[in-house]
Amino acid sequence: MSALLSGLLDAALDASIVFSFDRNGFRRHARGFEPKDLEVDLAGRTVLVTGANSGIGRAAAGGLARLGARVVLLCRDEARGREALGELERETRSRTLEVVRLDVSDLADVRRVAGLFRDGRVDALVHNAGVLPDRRVTTRDGLELTLATNLVGPFLLTSLLMPALERARGRVVHVSSGGMYTQRLDVVELFRGGGESFDGVVQYARTKRALVVLNELFAGRFAGSGVTFSAMHPGWADTPAVRTSLPRFHAVTKAILRSPEEGADTVVWLAASPAAEGRSGLFWFDRAPAATTPLPGTRETAEEMDRLEAALAAAAGLDGAPTSPAGEARGRRRRSRGS
């Protein structure tokens, strides 16, 4: 087949989503991966991965440990964390894995854990922990659980760890979801968390959309800091979350789901590869930048982005006033969007 025909076929398969999010999509995209990208030695580097005891987070932690990093598994359940640590040590032969307990939905816990790392160097922070609950749960901070876990906790952790990330000219990786494509940023609904008519899938997609916007906000606010901010989605990977939160989806798709390692590949690449350095504020899929708003009506306004930033600062208990670089970045965005 000519290169042109194979390129057209790839584009058509990607447009179909099911043939791009699945394992065949990964394998097709992986043919274009550059092996040298991950020929890196991360010895002496510190990487934090939330939700690292399971699924994509565990696979990402393993991939980064194989590259020599000191990997800190941030897990809400210490016993599950220790079990994953033992398995990963056997699989990777790494002796630089650690477990630290962190419930990312609990803002006091986020502050405690940030305090352990803030004065050192953090080379990469991977926000992988995520939930898709089937009913509305409120955290002790008064936030809906999906919002607290997938968005507010990560926002606070990054904000508090900025000194350590800047010292290392580090990377922040936000694990979003292809589900975010279905939602437009709506800060009022996002923080209302569905109210009495809670729909877990919709709230999950809202938080994942907001995470992609947050990535852009951070990239603007901290442009020039040396820190690279990325968001990505892993496609569809066979993990405990998919089995338990989406059992019908899992039953139909299980034969074509990616492995956790395939889902985690772009996380490892973004956290480790020189090829990803400095390409801040982008949304990635299979090591390539992806569109964020291909569906009509899903593009957020600059005002809605401002609202998100203010709502996150208030929810996380940070001083609300955005820093001047953020203000400048928002000004630039407004001008470029013509609003």
Ligand X SMILES: NC(=O)c1ccc[n+]([C@@H]2O[C@H](COP(=O)([O-])OP(=O)(O)OC[C@H]3O[C@@H](n4cnc5c(N)ncnc54)[C@H](OP(=O)(O)O)[C@@H]3O)[C@@H](O)[C@H]2O)c1
Query: How far is residue 317's CA from residue 156's CA, in Å, rounded to a whole number?
Result: 9
Stretch that binds ligand X, among 49-57, 213-221, 285-293, 317-325 (CB under 6 A): 49-57
Stretch that binds ligand X, among 35-43, 75-83, 219-227, 291-299 (CB under 6 A): 75-83
Tokens 């590259």 belong to: 67
With CB under 6 A as the contact rule, the residue among 187, 232, 237, 308 that binds ligand X is 237
Identify which of residues 208 and 307 has a Cβ nearer to ligand X in the complex: 208
Tell me: does residue 247 bind ligand X (CB under 6 A).
Answer: no
Identify which of residues 129 and 164 has a Cβ nearer to ligand X in the complex: 129
Query: How far is residue 308's CA from residue 187's CA, in Å, rounded to a whole number?
Result: 6
What is the nearest approach in angstroms of ligand X to the Cβ of residue 334? 30
With CB under 6 A as the contact rule, the residue among 165, 227, 242, 290 that binds ligand X is 242
Tell me: does residue 287 bind ligand X (CB under 6 A).
Answer: no
Identify which of residues 83 and 304 has a Cβ nearer to ligand X in the complex: 83
Nearest to 272 by CA among 29, 36, 25, 32: 36
With CB under 6 A as the contact rule, the residue among 20, 46, 54, 215 that binds ligand X is 54
What is the nearest approach in angstroms of ligand X to the Cβ of residue 155? 14
Tell me: does residue 55 bind ligand X (CB under 6 A).
Answer: yes
Among candidate residues 155, 204, 229, 236, the one labeled active-site is 204
204 belongs to the catalytic site: yes
Identify which of residues 205 and 311 has a Cβ nearer to ligand X in the complex: 205
Nearest to 233 by CA among 290, 163, 304, 170: 290
Q: For the segment 79-108, give every residue that binds ligand X (CB under 6 A).
A: 80, 102-105
Q: At what angle do helices 55-66 and 78-92 cross, to 10 degrees?
A: 40
Q: How far apart are the first and last CA of the chain?
A: 46
With CB under 6 A as the contact rule, the residue among 94, 96, 128, 280 that binds ligand X is 128
Query: How far is residue 72's CA from residue 101's CA, in Å, rounded to a whole number?
Result: 10
Tell me: does residue 239 bind ligand X (CB under 6 A).
Answer: yes
Q: At what angle do helices 55-66 and 260-272 cross, to 10 degrees?
A: 50
Stretch that binds ligand X, among 36-44, 186-194, 220-228, 229-237 (CB under 6 A): 229-237
Tell me: does residue 77 bind ligand X (CB under 6 A).
Answer: yes
With CB under 6 A as the contact rule, the residue among 26, 155, 191, 236 that binds ligand X is 236
Q: Are 110 and 160 in contact (CB under 8 A)?
A: yes
What is the nearest approach in angstroms of ligand X to the Cβ of residue 152? 11
Identify which of residues 82 and 169 has a Cβ nearer to ligand X in the complex: 82
Which residues, including other chains, have CB under 8 Å from residue 71's CB and lie 6 or more apart?
47, 48, 49, 52, 61, 64, 65, 88, 94, 96, 97, 98
Q: What is the dihedral of CA 283, 208, 265, 228, to 10 degrees?
A: 50
Query: How far is residue 191's CA from residue 303's CA, in Å, rounded to a whole number?
Result: 16
Distances (CA, A) of 321 to 306, 310, 313, 324, 330: 11, 8, 8, 9, 13
Q: Are 49 and 61 in contact (CB under 8 A)?
A: yes
What is the nearest approach in angstroms of ligand X to the Cβ of residue 322? 26
Q: For the segment 260-279, give every residue that binds ligand X (CB under 6 A).
A: 263
Q: Which residues bind ligand X (CB under 6 A)?
A: 50-51, 53-57, 76-77, 80, 102-105, 128-131, 149, 175, 177, 233-234, 236-237, 239-242, 263
**Active site residues per annotation:** 204
